[in-house]
Structures are given as structure tokens and as C-alpha cells.
Structure 1
Amino acid sequence: MTQLLSITDFWQAPGPILDVRSPGEYAQGHLPHAVSFPLFSDEERAQVGTCYKQQGKETAVELGLEIVGPKMAGLVKQAKTLAPERQVRVHCWRGGMRSGSVGWLLETSGLDVALLTGGYKAFRGWVRSTLAMPRPMIVVGGMTGTGKTDILHALRDLGEQVLDLEGLANHRGSSYGALMQPPQPSTEQFENLLAEQWCQFSPDRPVWIEAESRQVGACRVPDEIMQQMEAANTLEILRSEPERLKLLVEIYGQADPDGLIAATERLQRRLGGLRTQTAVEHIKQGDLAAAASVVLSYYDRTYRHDLVRRGKEIPTVNVAEMSAMDAARCLLYQVKNWEWYSSC
């Protein structure tokens, strides 16, 4: 028998999640781990929608049946391949005809089917309410090249709760952030991924998160998270400039030089024509440390400006010459001795 489940129960139900919306809808945003299992292509969906508006529901349903009829056997075969245990979870946009039709087809073919009540639209409502849930936070700041991301990963390895915004956005948060990274998700999908992690964090322990601007590449940090970050306790990690340059060369040393040059040229308005040209020449000559030194002047200035804007004193932790793991242990030791830690 087909089950109608709330988002919480739907998450916990067994079987793969089959998203029967069109490929375009799926690409815009989908439940984490869901498989695209379209009933209609983008063109077919548009065709049925136009028919509905111009000729009414009955005619549109008939058109939909004509389109889907030849696909039915293939859909069943694909579902059984995806779900060897014969259990599937199915949803569409609003939990209407598309998921209902596919659910009926798969159930008739011998699969156990769970449908998401309210569909993806209900899931997006859950995303908004989940991101608004308060969580204690420790924001980790520091100038470019201090290794903040590696330290966060080490904190996670130590069992701490960590939200890696840059990892979820597939972007390191600077003009160079997209280099050697997979394509970014849409902002909508970025929010979906954030919510999946956010709901798993305990409210009794702090969440460690890197200081970020509202944009991580093309992904926008949700207002609900940004507001909590701005109100959270913050610390700043310190490393020497030579150490920072070394870390940056290690990160970007394998990047395509043309990509490095393009990213540098995007900074020209802020970096200035002469400095940009100088940095580009260093890249062409293979001297990435010299190029990074030029560019750091811009990023350091921006970072200091943001500190002034915040208008509050931020405690610092010097992690010079420490590995990411040693730095993570140092941060844990330091914050547990600070008065505000008990409020996290």
C-alpha cells in the first residue's frame, strides 16, 4: 500500500528518493540524495502545461497519458534497478498527479511506495523553518591563507560540529574560489544541503563555521544563517605572512595558469591596474608566491575593513607553524577557557 508521509517520516523511510519532476526542476533544486526520475522532459512538461491553460485539465491529462504510455515499462525497469529491495520514496512538486501516477505505477509493479505529502514545495518550507532554528555558533575568522578550512576539517575529525559553507558551495570564497572545484549548486540547492546538515546539529553543542560574506561564489548564504553568524562569538586565527603565502601556493600551485590569470584580472578594479599587471606577470613566470604577495594586499585590506565594520573586539589565537590538527586542538583548548564558551 502506498504511504503518504510527512517530510520527517519521508526522510527516515527506506529506499531511494525518486524525484519525478522535470530535469530542469531537479537542476534548480532537489532533496539531497534524490535521483532524477522525470515523468516528463522539460519540453513535455511545458507542452502539458500549455494544454492545461488553453484546453483544460481533462485534455491535458489525456495528453499526459499519451506521452507517458510508451515510457511506463522503462520507468518500472529503472525503478527496480535503483531499488533492489523494492522500496522507493517518490515526490513531485506539490504531491499531486505526477507523484501519484508514478506511485500507482510502481506499486502496481510490486514495489512498496512512500509519497511525500506536499511534495518538494513542502520540503522547501521545511528548509526555511530548519535554517531558522537557533544553534550556538563559533565563527572562525582569519586572513586569507591562514588555513581556516583545513582547521575546520580537523575540528570535525575531532568530533566537533562543523558547517563547511565553502565545501557545500564548491567554492573557496574568493576570486580564485572556483578553481579546481566542481560546478556550484544553485543557491536553492545550497540551502537544501545546508538544511540537511543543520537539522542534525545538536542544540547543546557549538557549531564551528568559517567567517564568510553573504556570497560564496554564486551561492548566497541564507539570511537565517547569516544573522546567527553575525551575532555569534568569533575568534581570529593568526599566521605569519610567509606561512600564509606557502599555504596559498600549496593550494593553487596545481591550478591552470590561465585560470589564475583570469581570476587575478577580475580583481583589477580593486587591486589597481599596476598591481594586477605585476601579479599576472609573476604568474606567467611561475612565481606564484610573488603573485600571491601582491594579491594579499587587497584581501588583507578588505579583511581589516570588515573587522572595523563589526565594531567589536575579537580574541585571537596564534597557530603559526602548527598543522591543521594541532591548530584545531589549540582552538579547542583556548575557547574552553574563555568566559563566553559556556554560553555556546
Structure 2
Amino acid sequence: MVQEIALEELLERIRSGQHIAVDVRSPKEFEESAIPNSLNIPVFNNEERAEIGTLYKQVSPEAAKERGLELFSRKLPSFINEFKAIERPFTVYCWRGGMRSKTAATVLGLMGIETTRLTGGIRFYRQWVVKQLEEQEFGPQYIVLNGYTGSGKTTILRKLKEMGHPVIDLEQLAGHRGSIFGQIGLKPNSQKQFESQLVEEMEKLKNEPFIFIEGESKRIGKVLIPSLLFDKKEAGKQIILHLPIEERVANLVRDYEPHKYPDLFLEAFQLIKKRLTPAMSLAIEEHMEKQEFDAVAELLLLHYYDPRYKHSAFRNPERHIDIHANTTEEAIDKICDVVLPAIAQSKY
């Protein structure tokens, strides 16, 4: 008999670092939504799952099961070897704790490989994530990095994290930089994946007195920041970064690496060119075609991003602190020298 495990217990084991979850659904399902840090060892690949689903609907459940057994039996040796390579105890799961995870756990048990199966599958996990984002009390105060595009906010966040300070990096969780060019060179996450990873980060940091977070809009690419987080971020203390245009241009070109994806940048630009004058649009396109990306970045900052960048923190000086710096590195130093001591003394 396959031993089952409840979701809360599984998550505790995973967070201890001594356990791992294995998703036996198809790669497409795994990419759309999975328990963070899971492995994917599918019973059926995308094409096989589609074929079985068609048989189930158009012929009969029995025909689908027979075809499934035929397909699965061919890959048993490789399937089992993948599990043998796992060096930690593990739990298998599928969509609702049904046929695929039961089949995987049963076969592994017959081969002497111990495993457990997640009760309710990832459907239960998804319900838990939604509940957490609707009801969870997340205690830390928010220190929000704001500033015009190119101010190095993401770089500063990641440096602060390296230094051991509590950080939630929304752009990293979304797999998107939050601009019209933000998905280029990255692999954007689905809303479900974003929310799953966000809940895990919140769980890690729930007992911190404060967290650093970037002043994102409600939407990052195709994902939406849950109201629980967004509303509190909007009310948080704001750090307003002020860097010279030359540094901001350098930051953008370094972070976005447009020389690697010139065609994609030109394609993305078509989505915003109508918001610029015809003459400015033509000038930017000409610089793009010549791969003069410093010039492209500066024109976009001056004529597109800066005029549109508005934030409530600028209108409420009692809620923000200004950081003026010549470089991103200098801005980090000032945050460490000014903001962190003020937080420690409860003056900010």
C-alpha cells in the first residue's frame, strides 16, 4: 500500500532541506505550475498525455488506460533509474493525487524504492497558495526601492540580499524585468508559478522586522502582484534613488544586453513607438538598426520612461528618503550607511 503524506508535512520536510518533491505530470503541466524546487520525472510526456486524453474522450477510459500502460511500460527502466539517482527522501505528486502518482509510487515500491505520495496532489497545494495570499498575515515592514528607470534598483536589491539583508525580488520571481522589453532573454513564469515562489519567499521572511522590495507596478509582464503584497508595498517606506542619466544608460545596456537580441528589441519597440513623436520613433529605430544601444537607451529614458514615471512617494516627502549617488555602487553604500542604521534605531 502506498503511504500518503499531507501537504503541510511535505512542505516542512522540503524546507528542512532533507526532502524533495517529484512531479510526475507532463513537462507542460510542470512548467505551468509546480511545487517550488520540485523535480519533474513525468509518467507521460506532453505528446503522450495529449494522445491518452484524446482516447479517453473519443473512445473510452479503458482504451486510454491500455494505451497508457503500453507507453509507460516502454520507459520503465529509464523512469526507475531517474528515481534511483535522487539522493534524498522524496514524495511524488500529480494533479489530484490520482492515477499517475499512484502508478509511480506503486512501481517504485515494487523495485524497493521507498516513496510517499502527496494527498490531493498539486491541486491541494494550489488551493493552499491561494489561501495564503488571501489570508496570511505577513508581518515585516516594507522598505521600497524607487527611482527612475535604470536607477539600478534590481542590482541593489540583489546586492543587499548577498549581504544578508531580507529581500523579495519580484522581478526574479516573475522572470520579467517589468518593462516592455522585460521578457527578452528571460523565461517568464506563469501566474501560478510566480505566486507559488512568492509564498515560499514570504514564508522564509515572515519573522523579519523589515524587507527590501522594489517599487513595481501592479503588473510585472503577464503576472499580477497579489493585493496582500501590493497594498502593503504602496504604504511602505520609500527610498528614492537619483542617479545621473549616464549611469542609468549604462545600467540598462548592461542588464538588458540588447546586442544579444537586436531583432527582439526592435520588435518590442513597435509596441510603444506610437507613444512617441514620429521623428523620435524614427531616430530610435535608426540607432537600433545600427546597434547604437547607448543612444537608444538614453532616448527611451528621456522621451518615454521618464515622462511616464510617477509614484506616490514623490508626492509624499514624509514617507521617503532620497538617495543621490553618481553610481549604483555609491547608492548601495549610502543605503547601508544611512538607511540601515536608521532602521536599526527605529528612526525610519
TM-score range, shorter chain: 0.7 to 0.9
* Structure 1 residue 200 displacement after superposition: 0.8
Alpha-carbon separation, structure 2, partners of 1:341 and 1:270: 46
- In structure 2, the partner of 1:196 is 200
Contact 1:93 1:121 in 2 (8 A): yes
RMSD: 3.0
Distance of aligned partners of 1:92 and 1:264 in 2 relative to their CA distance in 1, 3 Å threshold: same
Alpha-carbon separation, structure 1, partners of 2:198 and 2:162: 19
* Structure 1 residue 91 displacement after superposition: 0.3
Unaligned runs of 5+ in 2: none
Distance of aligned partners of 1:43 and 1:194 in 2 relative to their CA distance in 1, 3 Å threshold: same
* Structure 1 residue 144 displacement after superposition: 0.7
* Structure 1 residue 292 displacement after superposition: 2.1
Alpha-carbon separation, structure 2, partners of 1:84 and 1:284: 51
Distance of aligned partners of 1:250 and 1:19 in 2 relative to their CA distance in 1, 3 Å threshold: closer
Shifted more, 7-16 versus 88-97: the winner is 7-16
User: Are 1:235 and 2:239 counterparts?
Assistant: yes
User: Are 1:331 and 2:331 counterparts?
Assistant: no
Alpha-carbon separation, structure 2, partners of 1:61 and 1:257: 48
1:68-115, CA deviations, whole angstroms, 9 ceiling, x for partnerless residues?
Answer: 33333332223213x256x33200111122211211111111111021
User: Are 1:207 and 2:211 counterparts?
Assistant: yes
User: Are 1:262 and 2:264 counterparts?
Assistant: no
User: Which AA in structure 2 matches 1:24?
Assistant: K
SS in structure 2 opposite 1:139? strand
Contact 1:144 1:300 in 2 (8 A): yes
Alpha-carbon separation, structure 1, partners of 2:258 and 2:71: 52
Distance of aligned partners of 1:54 and 1:243 in 2 relative to their CA distance in 1, 3 Å threshold: closer
Distance of aligned partners of 1:53 and 1:155 in 2 relative to their CA distance in 1, 3 Å threshold: same
Contact 1:131 1:198 in 2 (8 A): no
Moved over 6 A (4+): none
Contact 1:146 1:237 in 2 (8 A): yes
User: Are 1:9 and 2:9 counterparts?
Assistant: yes
Alpha-carbon separation, structure 2, partners of 1:248 and 1:24: 33
1:13-54, CA deviations, whole angstroms, 9 ceiling, x for partnerless residues?
Answer: 545432111232112111222222222334443454455557
User: Which AA in structure 2 matches 1:142?
Assistant: G
Distance of aligned partners of 1:15 and 1:219 in 2 relative to their CA distance in 1, 3 Å threshold: same
From 202, 221, 228, the counterpart of 2:225: 221
- In structure 2, the partner of 1:124 is 126
Alpha-carbon separation, structure 1, partners of 2:324 and 2:146: 13
User: Which AA in structure 1 matches 2:26?
Assistant: S
Contact 1:271 1:295 in 2 (8 A): no
User: Are 1:302 and 2:283 counterparts?
Assistant: no
Distance of aligned partners of 1:318 and 1:91 in 2 relative to their CA distance in 1, 3 Å threshold: same
- In structure 2, the partner of 1:80 is 84
SS in structure 2 opposite 1:225? helix
SS in structure 2 opposite 1:90? strand
Contact 1:131 1:224 in 2 (8 A): yes
Give the 5 Å matches for 1:245-324: 245-251=249-255, 252=257, 254-296=259-301, 297-304=303-310, 306-307=311-312, 312-313=316-317, 314-324=319-329
Percent identical across equivalent pairs? 32
Contact 1:23 1:42 in 2 (8 A): yes
From 137, 152, 159, the counterpart of 1:154: 159
Distance of aligned partners of 1:236 and 1:88 in 2 relative to their CA distance in 1, 3 Å threshold: same
Alpha-carbon separation, structure 1, partners of 2:277 and 2:211: 38
* Structure 1 residue 159 displacement after superposition: 1.2
Contact 2:152 2:328 in 1 (8 A): no
Distance of aligned partners of 1:198 and 1:339 in 2 relative to their CA distance in 1, 3 Å threshold: closer
Alpha-carbon separation, structure 2, partners of 1:343 and 1:101: 58
Distance of aligned partners of 1:56 and 1:231 in 2 relative to their CA distance in 1, 3 Å threshold: farther
* Structure 1 residue 281 displacement after superposition: 2.0
SS in structure 2 opposite 1:199? helix
Distance of aligned partners of 1:312 and 1:184 in 2 relative to their CA distance in 1, 3 Å threshold: same
User: Are 1:31 and 2:41 counterparts?
Assistant: no
Alpha-carbon separation, structure 1, partners of 2:98 and 2:40: 17
User: Which AA in structure 1 matches 2:84?
Assistant: K
* Structure 1 residue 164 displacement after superposition: 1.1
Normalised by the size of structure 1, how large is the TM-score?
0.85
SS in structure 2 opposite 1:112? coil
Contact 1:21 1:98 in 2 (8 A): yes
Contact 2:238 2:321 in 1 (8 A): no
User: Which AA in structure 2 matches 1:125?
Assistant: Q
SS in structure 2 opposite 1:200? helix
From 167, 178, 186, the counterpart of 2:190: 186
Alpha-carbon separation, structure 1, partners of 2:321 and 2:275: 27
Shifted more, 200-209 versus 260-269: the winner is 260-269
Distance of aligned partners of 1:256 and 1:41 in 2 relative to their CA distance in 1, 3 Å threshold: closer
From 100, 109, 112, the counterpart of 1:110: 112
User: Which AA in structure 1 matches 2:49?
Assistant: R
Unaligned runs of 5+ in 1: none
Alpha-carbon separation, structure 1, partners of 2:153 and 2:296: 21
Contact 2:93 2:117 in 1 (8 A): yes
